[in-house]
Structure 1
Amino acid sequence: MLEREDLDVDGVPVAVLRMAHGPVNAMDLELCQALAERFRALATDPARAVVLTGSDRAFSAGVDLKRCLADGEPYVARFLPALCEAFRAAFELPKPLVAAVNGHAIAGGCVLAACADTVLMAEGSARIGVPEVRVGVPFPRIALEVLTAAVGERVARELVTGAQTHLPERAARLGLVHEVVPAAELSVRAAAVAAEAAAAVPADTFAMTKRQLHRACLERVDRYADEDAPVARLWTAQLADGWVQRYLRSVTGR
């Protein structure tokens, strides 16, 4: 589900986490729980920096909507908090985090990448973006805050309401991706960027600065916790009334 490789990059220990969870690393309850647990553990791990990447043709295609449809309201009630905890644990990591987007990063996969301090994406035809409103479901507050922190309020609004996915070059122009890299060089480049970030600043100074930069976002997440219940109700309603199923058919043909 989550594979770890430890690298020494010019004397800097870097942990590489690779999602290996089905063909497209769909975010289900178990993957979200594993991500949250691993990122919390990495906060006190000897690794000075972290790279998060995917496997095969996807970074992550986002939420496992088929699982949500199959398991219904009881599953959604457990899944949404786990999804939010995965985002928060990645966003709060007090070390440099680099997302090496090796393939499609859609919806929750895009938000997970945006949790990183630096986002690198492989050249090619993979797409990144947040089409949630077209799926029919609202964003949890943490997802909106992460996107706003990553690209600013105006672009975040464009991404969310436009509900489009973007090729790497367009994503870079939007600020969603910091650098587009040849696919064969992505892993090495991501590890180098992570190590450079860790070596450039004392670890405690980096942690404090990151905490300051993210503080207002996380305070809003906590302040608007009353959104959680209506968000969950809308997820359940749209799953039940066929909107999500119709969306899946439109993109998969099945």
Structure 2
Amino acid sequence: MELSAGTEGIALVKMEQGLDTATCRQLVLGLEEADAAEARAIVLTGTGDTFSPGADLARIVEGGARRIEEFLSELSDALLAVFGFPRPVVAAVNGHATGFGLVLAAACDHRVAADGEGRLGVPELHRGVPFPLAALEILRCAYGTTPLPALAYGGAALTVAEALARGLVDEVAPAEELRSRAVELATRLAGLPAEAFAHTKAQLRRPYHERIAENRVSDDARVERLWCAEKTLEVIKSSVDRS
């Protein structure tokens, strides 16, 4: 995870690998550092041709049930840290954004994707693993309830053009202009009165935060059991072996 100060108080938070317990903690720490530095807004992006490939399943399943339980808890905390950040967060989707990687993009206030070969989708269900409640509520907030079944059940890897048509990203920019466009958007949002922006953002997202707070403990316990089931682990390992 890399945090760097940008122009006009815009912080760049760069993800460098798939999500596991350590990278989730690093993401939370990066946001806390940006907050402490009083960054006016954040641009969240990845490296190379990948915004985020989602969960690093190979590393996670190596640790068995205990590692899975720890990861799912840290993952929800990381997703909620992005989702609840009081100042603007713009996703510069520089390439593939799959599974929890797409959820991270959904947690942001605006999503601009690079025109290229990137693929976006949520294939988790096809790997035998359900989303924690926080992830589904973030997707619901960003995209609405109606599109979620097709997105989750289908598990398709959509092109950037298809993702734009289905509203998974807000706009597309040439790859070489992606970061500058994301910074431009972040700067524009940061120009809004900060306290009013934070309150409005909290108002818009309050129903989702409330559902998560009310149901997370019981729902996540069921998700953990499903992830840790022997049959599920076999599906995950088979998926990892094929990738």
TM-score class, shorter: over 0.9
- CA shift digits 1:17-68 (9 cap, x unpaired): 1112xxxx11011000111222234334321010000011211111011012
The secondary structure found in structure 2 opposite 1:88 is helix
In structure 2, what is the Cα distance between the partners aligned to 1:238 and 1:7? 46
The secondary structure found in structure 1 opposite 2:209 is helix
- CA shift digits 1:51-102 (9 cap, x unpaired): 0000112111110110122111111121110000000000000111000011
2:38 alignment counterpart:
46
User: Does residue 224 in structure 1 map to residue 223 in structure 2?
Assistant: no
- CA shift digits 1:146-187 (9 cap, x unpaired): 101111111122211211121111111111100111100001
In structure 2, what is the Cα distance between the partners aligned to 1:203 and 1:217? 22
CA gap of 1:82–1:46, structure 2 versus 1, over 3 A, is same
Instruction: Tell me which of 12, 23, 35 is aligned to 1:16.
Output: 12
Q: Is the 8 A contact 1:40 1:93 kept in 2?
A: no
In structure 2, what is the Cα distance between the partners aligned to 1:185 and 1:71? 40
The secondary structure found in structure 2 opposite 1:242 is helix
Query: What's the CA shift for 1:228?
Result: 1.1
1:123 alignment counterpart:
115
Q: Is the 8 A contact 2:227 2:233 kept in 1?
A: no
Normalising by the residue count of structure 1, what TM-score does the alignment of the two structures yield?
0.92
Q: Is the 8 A contact 1:5 1:16 kept in 2?
A: yes
Matches within 5 A, 1:34-73: 34-73=26-65
User: Does residue 86 in structure 1 map to residue 71 in structure 2?
Assistant: no
Letter in 1 for 2:114: A
Normalising by the residue count of structure 2, what TM-score does the alignment of the two structures yield?
0.96
Identify unmatched segments of 5+ residues in structure 2.
Answer: none
| C-alpha RMSD over aligned residues | 1.3
Q: Is the 8 A contact 2:10 2:187 kept in 1?
A: yes
1:175 alignment counterpart:
167
In structure 1, what is the Cα distance between the partners aligned to 2:34 and 2:169? 24
Query: What's the CA shift for 1:238?
Result: 5.1
Query: What's the CA shift for 1:103?
Result: 1.1
2:2 alignment counterpart:
3
Q: Is the 8 A contact 1:106 1:130 kept in 2?
A: yes
CA gap of 1:131–1:198, structure 2 versus 1, over 3 A, is same
Q: Is the 8 A contact 2:61 2:233 kept in 1?
A: no
1:188 alignment counterpart:
180
Identity rate, percent:
39
2:235 alignment counterpart:
243
In structure 2, what is the Cα distance between the partners aligned to 1:29 and 1:15? 23
1:158 alignment counterpart:
150
2:21 alignment counterpart:
29
Letter in 1 for 2:29: E
Identify unmatched segments of 5+ residues in structure 1.
Answer: none
Q: Is the 8 A contact 1:59 1:101 kept in 2?
A: yes
The secondary structure found in structure 1 opposite 2:63 is helix
The secondary structure found in structure 2 opposite 1:5 is strand
In structure 1, what is the Cα distance between the partners aligned to 2:185 and 2:145? 26
In structure 2, what is the Cα distance between the partners aligned to 1:84 and 1:238? 23
Query: What's the CA shift for 1:124?
Result: 1.0
* Number of residue pairs aligned between Structure 1 and Structure 2: 242
The secondary structure found in structure 2 opposite 1:15 is strand
Q: Is the 8 A contact 1:238 1:244 kept in 2?
A: no
Instruction: Tell me which of 70, 77, 92 is aligned to 2:69.
Output: 77
